[in-house]
Amino acid sequence: MRKSRNGVLGAILIALALVAAACGSGEDAKEGPTITIGSANFSENALVAEIYAQVLEDKGYPVERNLNVGNREVYAAALESGDLDLLPEYVGTALSFKGGTPTSDSAATAQALRDVWGADGIAVLEPAPAQDKNGIVVRQDTADALGLSKISDLAAHTDLVFGGPPECPEREFCLIGLTDVYGLSFADFKPLDVGGALTVAALEGDEIQVALLFTSDGVISAKGFVLLEDDKGLQPAENLTPVIRQDILDAYDDDLVDALNEVSAELTTEELSEMNKLIGIDGEDPEQVAADWISENL
């Protein structure tokens, strides 16, 4: 009987140890508020958010995911209200959204965003070398037939249909900028998705002749599309940067900032493009792609 009772007790202790280990997720569990990590509603942003989540989980931080929440109007409001705590942002467009004026200088643009968003209790951490800008893309046959190599070349062709995110007509770095900076006029604008499969399919199928994709998108080289040169410098610095609520930072030690900045220090545009290809073209699982990148770089 005693042997049996000891065996049961041992089993219980082992089970408790396993539960404790699971809760720790790699390192000793941190005590503090759960960090709700969000993302914009496209795969690249969700991928980087997943990298943040896995890194923090491995270091013992309590994490909750709420990915693909919507466009900037939605997720910025959620961040400021406290519904989200952390997400990857693009410094130039974010600064413009907050009423600032971004430039091609990554450090200066990031600092300007800190100055603006800090008043709302949002901390802007170190920007990654990885940038993802709006890119204007055409098929190779369209480029050859019309002699297109830069965005300004489109000014002579007003019979083309342009496709991109539904919010593009209201964005200064999308249709507004193409009109004001480049003087472009399109036969029509077709609202599609945010640099995703709908836009790619419409471009391939000639439903649109000009598309907005992201410059780090692996589909551009995979499909043989032509990325037109932004010869008038419409697009600002767009380094991927962790933005996080200050009250979350205040609840933890500097290790949290260090962990996120370490991700930024290692994330390059080339690696981002390759991960986008693995997910968008090769169909690999985003969580596994994130885990592989962490294993290779951190």
Q: Are residues 53 and 190 in the same domain?
A: no
pLDDT digits (tens, 9 = 90+) for 80-121: 999 999 999 999 999 999 999 999 899 999 999 999 999 999
Q: What pLDDT score does 270 carry?
A: 87
Whether 1 has a pLDDT exceeding 50, the answer reads: no
Taking residues 268-291, report their average pLDDT: 93
Domain assignment present for residue 13? The answer is no
Residue 229, phi then psi, degrees to nearest 5: -65, 135
Residue that terminates a domain, selected from 227, 249, 268 = 227
Domain assignment present for residue 15? The answer is no
Compute the distance between CA of residue 242 and CA of residue 248 in angstroms, rounded to an integer: 13
Domain assignment present for residue 5? The answer is no
Q: Are residues 245 and 115 in the same domain?
A: yes
Taking residues 265-294, report their average pLDDT: 94
pLDDT digits (tens, 9 = 90+) for 187-228: 999 999 988 889 999 999 999 999 999 999 989 988 999 999
Q: What pLDDT score does 26 carry?
A: 55
Torsion-angle region of residue 214: left (phi > 0), alpha (psi -120 to 50) or beta?
A: beta
Residue 81, phi then psi, degrees to nearest 5: -85, -15
Q: Are residues 107 and 146 in the same domain?
A: no
Q: Are residues 47 and 186 in the same domain?
A: no
Taking residues 167-188, report their average pLDDT: 95
Whether 266 has a pLDDT exceeding 70, the answer reads: yes
Predicted structure pTM score: 0.78
What rounded mean pLDDT belongs to the chain?
A: 91
- What is the extent of the structural domain holding 256? 29-131+237-297
Higher pLDDT, 269 or 184: 184
Q: Are residues 163 and 47 in the same domain?
A: no
Domain assignment present for residue 18? The answer is no
Q: Are residues 74 and 218 in the same domain?
A: no
Whether 19 has a pLDDT exceeding 60, the answer reads: no
Q: How confident is the model at residue 16 (pLDDT cuts 50, 70, 90)?
A: very low
Q: Are residues 62 and 97 in the same domain?
A: yes
Whether residue 123 contacts residue 85, with contact meaning beta carbons closer than 8 Å, is answered with no
Q: Please give the structure tokens belonging to residue 219.
A: 């589909």
Q: Are residues 190 and 243 in the same domain?
A: no
Compute the distance between CA of residue 201 and CA of residue 235 in angstroms, rounded to an integer: 24
Say what percent of the chain tops pLDDT 70. Answer: 91
Residue that terminates a domain, selected from 227, 251, 269 = 227
For residue 36, give the H/E element and its range.
Answer: strand 35-40
Neighbours of 118 (CB within 10 A): 12
Q: How confident is the model at residue 41 (pLDDT cuts 50, 70, 90)?
A: very high
Q: What is the CATH number of the domain that holds 97?
A: 3.40.190.10
Parallel, antiparallel or unpaired: strands 210-214 and 161-164: parallel
Taking residues 133-141, report their average pLDDT: 96
Whether residue 78 contacts residue 69, with contact meaning beta carbons closer than 8 Å, is answered with yes
Q: Are residues 61 and 117 in the same domain?
A: yes
Domain assignment present for residue 20? The answer is no
Q: Are residues 41 and 93 in the same domain?
A: yes
Taking residues 14-22, report their average pLDDT: 38
Q: What pLDDT score does 195 carry?
A: 86
Q: Are residues 170 and 205 in the same domain?
A: yes
Whether 56 has a pLDDT exceeding 50, the answer reads: yes
Contacts of 172 (CB under 8 A, 6+ apart): 96, 180
Taking residues 168-182, report their average pLDDT: 95
Domain assignment present for residue 50? The answer is yes
Whether 75 has a pLDDT exceeding 60, the answer reads: yes
Q: What is the CATH number of the domain that holds 155?
A: 3.40.190.120
Q: How confident is the model at residue 14 (pLDDT cuts 50, 70, 90)?
A: very low
Q: What pLDDT score does 201 carry?
A: 96
Domain assignment present for residue 21? The answer is no
Compute the distance between CA of residue 124 and CA of residue 197 in angstroms, rounded to an integer: 31
Residue that terminates a domain, selected from 227, 248, 278 = 227
Q: Are residues 41 and 108 in the same domain?
A: yes
Domain assignment present for residue 165? The answer is yes
Dihedral of CA atoms 102, 108, 112, 117 in degrees, nearest 10, equals: 100
The total of structural domains in the chain comes to 2
Say what percent of the chain tops pLDDT 90. Answer: 83
Q: What pLDDT score does 120 carry?
A: 96
